[in-house]
Amino acid sequence: MILIKDQLPILINTGFGSDAKETEQLIKEAGVSPEELHLIVNTNYHSDHVGGNYHLQKKLWCYDCCL
């Protein structure tokens, strides 16, 4: 995962779904509220890259795209 902290924060890959709550906590610890995420970018559709998408998108309103 990579978190780009900008005016419109971007999360690159969300990790495994089983780690979604930990991912959310790491985002908070980095100083970004998960609700501030503007975009989730996935570099591929393997479970270790997209597994947390459902968890984050269920709670938040943000776009998801794959490169």
Per-residue tens of pLDDT for the chain, all 67 residues: 999 999 999 999 999 999 999 999 999 999 998 888 888 899 988 888 889 988 887 777 666 555 5
* Rounded CA separation 67/58 (Å): 22
pLDDT at site 11: 93
pLDDT at site 39: 87
pLDDT at site 45: 87
- Please name every residue paired with 40 in a beta bridge, in sequence order, or none if there are none: 11, 64
Conformation bin of residue 13: beta by default, left when phi > 0, alpha when psi is -120 to 50: left
* Rounded CA separation 8/26 (Å): 17
Q: Fill in the DSSP letter of residue 35.
A: G
Q: pTM here?
A: 0.83
